[in-house]
Structure 1
């Protein structure tokens, strides 16, 4: 073989060796970047972080503010919101979940009802580590599990003491307020502050029951209107009676005054006289003028 063949083979070997070294360098650099990224965690604005060592199960007591933190392999930073967030459990597939998350409960007679419920909440930054130690999971899982269960139990417990007309009517606000107070008391020691619990829509009542409720409400409104009309008529009649009685008493008083003092008649005539003498007065004087 010619010497040029050996020279080209040597060049190819050198190139292969060079590319291998370059690949090792690039691969090592990429690995270092990935390891470095995996060794840090970030706490986003509006949240506090809890650093947890998943290998030994250690939970750091101090909360982490916004920023980047060392989180080597085996360490995870959980974030909890310290600003107000809202979650709605509804039957709508276009809300926060594609499945029906509305609450089901019963009245005291066992009638099944449904309702959409929403909650606003935040985490006390001073108690965030306590909340994690209690539930050992992130905020989304706490909402889907412990918080939802507590709200459902509170609503079920109070609704079981009420009739459907009360739940749909004058106790609707009281029911959700009672549930809110119960849930607040339960979660406050763990740092989860339930700010407000409210109905996110109408309470769903079976159609036939709803018709009966509406018919009863209509009848009650009609009865109240009839009572108002009767009261108005009675008031008007009493006013007329009072006026007539007053007029009669006034006439009696005036008649008595005339009997005791006939000069009143002349005084009244003078009060009504326009000052003009009649054209034909006859033979005598005017009745209210004394002629001596």
Structure 2
């Protein structure tokens, strides 16, 4: 009876299941052999000494963060320096999946689980790429206009490094703000405020100049119009009578003095 139960237990333990969304790699821990063929979803015979590792073929995410309430109770955020040696920190995230046709190559390279690859080789590769590029930039560039370029450069380098072994890095991105020492942050914010104030002042000057030029142009235009009108009147006195007719309301004046009546000469 006992022998039968033991036999059933041994038989049950000799099978392993590859879960949906994963690909399996059969490894003989005794002989050290790795199957070159990936295993799809399902149950597989795995006698003692054989282990089936699972790698995800769908998109998975991981975030290295300083928060102790997320994926790890310890601070996993990335530390790096700018070109002047100023220490910075940031939370970084990655999305990835494994190419099922290259899963065995990935295992043969690192011979460990996916979680350990993420915690070790992948983290180190991303950190090194960020450190290398950040060392070429100043803190104002890292915190400002080169922030996106820095993480994109790291992503490209990591993608090129892992693609040949089947680990497809979809995206590497900042998972929060880059942490800058408060004193430096105050200086950066003050500089930005001064630059914005200067731009606003330049805009005000430009507006005032444009308004002044518009007023000068209008005055010059009015003066030229008056000169043209005066010249026309000098060369053609009848214009005065024409203007008077244009303004006349059709009624004769109620009082007439000894002088001539207006519009006498008008037909």
Please report the TM-score for the alignment, with normalisation by the length of structure 2.
0.96
Asked if residue 212 in structure 1 is aligned to residue 204 in structure 2, the reply is no
Asked if residue 80 in structure 1 is aligned to residue 33 in structure 2, the reply is no
Partner secondary structure for residue 276 of structure 1:
coil
Partner secondary structure for residue 52 of structure 2:
strand
| Corresponding residue number in structure 1 for 2:207 | 232
| Corresponding residue number in structure 2 for 1:271 | 246
Asked if residue 179 in structure 1 is aligned to residue 180 in structure 2, the reply is no
Asked if residue 65 in structure 1 is aligned to residue 18 in structure 2, the reply is no
Report the alpha carbon displacement of residue 257 of structure 1 after superposing the two structures with TM: 1.1
Distance 1:32 1:104 in 2: 53
- 1:41-65 deviation digits (Å, cap 9, x = unpaired): 1011111111111111111111111
* RMSD, aligned CA: 1.3
Q: Which runs of 5+ in 2 are unaligned?
A: none
After TM superposition, list the pairs within 5 Å mapping 1:105-254 onto structure 2: 105-254=80-229
- 1:11-40 deviation digits (Å, cap 9, x = unpaired): xxxxxxxxxxxxxx1x12221221112211
| Corresponding residue number in structure 2 for 1:20 | none
Report the alpha carbon displacement of residue 284 of structure 1 after superposing the two structures with TM: 5.3
* Alpha carbons 1:128, 1:191 under 8 Å: kept: yes
Distance 1:187 1:148 in 2: 12
| Pair 254,54 (structure 1): closer, same or farther in 2 beyond 3 Å | same
| Pair 289,80 (structure 1): closer, same or farther in 2 beyond 3 Å | farther
| Corresponding residue number in structure 2 for 1:29 | 4
* Alpha carbons 1:103, 1:116 under 8 Å: kept: yes
* Alpha carbons 1:285, 1:291 under 8 Å: kept: no
* Alpha carbons 1:89, 1:101 under 8 Å: kept: yes
Partner secondary structure for residue 196 of structure 1:
strand
Select between 87-96 and 28-37 the one with higher mean Cα deviation. Answer: 28-37
Distance 1:111 1:290 in 2: 93
Distance 2:266 2:154 in 1: 97
| Corresponding residue number in structure 2 for 1:5 | none
Distance 2:264 2:133 in 1: 90
Moved over 6 A (4+): none
